[in-house]
């Protein structure tokens, strides 16, 4: 036996060794625990033992390191030892063997951070916790405009990855999304920021790519997964939109008695978008 098999057998049997543990959940990073425990408690309540991997060694243009480590355990997964990971671009790219039937539970968005930014539920939480902020900035409107702005670049990225091209990579895509913005760019629900993002993508994508790549194939892959301009923001790298929305929230809440990231953003994990409904349907397969 190897080290992974030895460790896997321990995780497989931990619910027998310790009857207070319902199951072992392996994730990419322990920072993912709050999101996955929230979902598990809704669908199959119990005390879970969470295991995380450091994903700092991952290549931004390929699979994150934490996910790579998790997949090493795939042959040993059971109802009592399973993976909870980010979908990344796996579904769009047609990666197989990553379903609930394989004991692999996924976000159905690029990562769990995208769920925190789901536009309808986020604006609802902001309106409830900070009505004054909600009256000044409509996160739902901003995120819909953002989604529209990133949709075509996402198609170009997918087409590049499928074709094995390096003209426009995930790293290039992410560099087009600012981590911060000016107060002026936040006016009118972030219209200045949206225009800046559009300009960044325009400058980053070589003109010839749109004519030499099979964009229609990329669009068909998205259509098959119900991904379009209205929800593309949920299927691009979650850290990018999470960090940007968090920064906007910080600026808006400077004079408010709340912490935007802790009190609003990180508590927005119970939306009713179709991606969340798929998570719930998967988790309901687990033993009660």
143 DSSP assignment: H
| ∠ Cα 166 167 168 (to 5°) | 90
The pLDDT score that the predictor gives to residue 128 is 95
d(CA 124, CA 114): 16
Give me the tens of pLDDT residue by residue for the chain, a chain 288 residues long. 589 999 999 999 999 999 999 999 999 999 999 999 999 999 999 999 999 986 443 444 444 456 889 999 999 999 999 999 999 999 999 999 999 999 999 999 999 999 999 999 999 999 999 999 999 999 999 999 999 999 999 999 999 999 999 999 999 999 999 999 999 999 999 999 999 999 999 999 999 888 899 999 999 999 999 999 999 999 999 999 999 999 999 999 999 999 999 999 988 998 999 999 999 999 999 998
- Residue 104 near residue 82, CB atoms below 8 Å: yes
Please state, in angstroms and rounded to a whole number, the distance separating the CA atoms of residues 118 and 131.
Answer: 18
pLDDT at 270: 86
Q: What is the model's pLDDT at position 65? A: 55
Alpha carbons 214 and 218: distance in angstroms, whole number: 7
Check residue 64 and give its pLDDT: 45
Residue 104 belongs to what H/E stretch? strand 104-106
Q: Which residues lie below 8 Å from residue 120, measured CB to CB, with a gap of 6+? A: 140, 271, 272, 273
CA distances, 136 to each of 156, 188, 263 (Å) = 34, 9, 18
Rounded Cα–Cα distance for residues 231 and 56 (Å):
28
């Amino acid at each position: 036996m190897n080290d992974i098999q030895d460790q896997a057998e321990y995780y497989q049997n931990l619910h027998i060794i310790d009857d207070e543990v319902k199951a072992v959940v392996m994730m990419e990073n322990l920072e993912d625990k709050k999101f996955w425990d929230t979902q598990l408690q809704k669908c199959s309540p119990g005390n879970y033992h969470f295991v995380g991997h450091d994903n700092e060694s991952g290549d931004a243009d390929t699979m994150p390191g934490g996910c790579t480590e998790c997949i090493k355990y795939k042959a040993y997964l059971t109802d009592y030892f399973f993976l909870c990971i980010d979908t990344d671009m796996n579904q769009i790219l047609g990666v197989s063997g990553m379903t609930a039937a394989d004991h692999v539970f996924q976000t159905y968005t690029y990562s769990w951070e995208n769920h925190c930014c789901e536009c309808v539920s986020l604006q609802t939480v902001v309106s409830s916790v900070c009505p004054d902020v909600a009256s000044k900035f409509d996160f739902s409107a901003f995120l819909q405009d953002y989604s529209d702005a990133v949709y075509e670049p996402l198609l170009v990225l997918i087409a590049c990855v499928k074709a094995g091209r390096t003209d426009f990579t995930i790293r290039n895509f992410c560099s087009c999304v600012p981590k911060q913005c000016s107060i002026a760019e936040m006016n009118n629900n972030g219209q200045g920021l949206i225009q800046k993002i559009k300009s960044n993508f325009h400058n980053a994508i070589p003109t010839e790519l749109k004519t030499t790549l099979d964009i229609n194939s990329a669009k068909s892959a998205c259509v098959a997964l119900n991904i379009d301009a209205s929800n593309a923001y949920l299927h691009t790298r979650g850290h990018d939109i999470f960090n940007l929305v968090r920064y906007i929230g910080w600026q808006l809440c400077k004079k408010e008695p709340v912490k935007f990231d802790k009190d609003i953003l990180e508590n927005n994990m119970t939306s009713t978008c179709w991606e969340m409904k798929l998570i719930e349907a998967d988790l309901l397969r687990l033993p009660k």
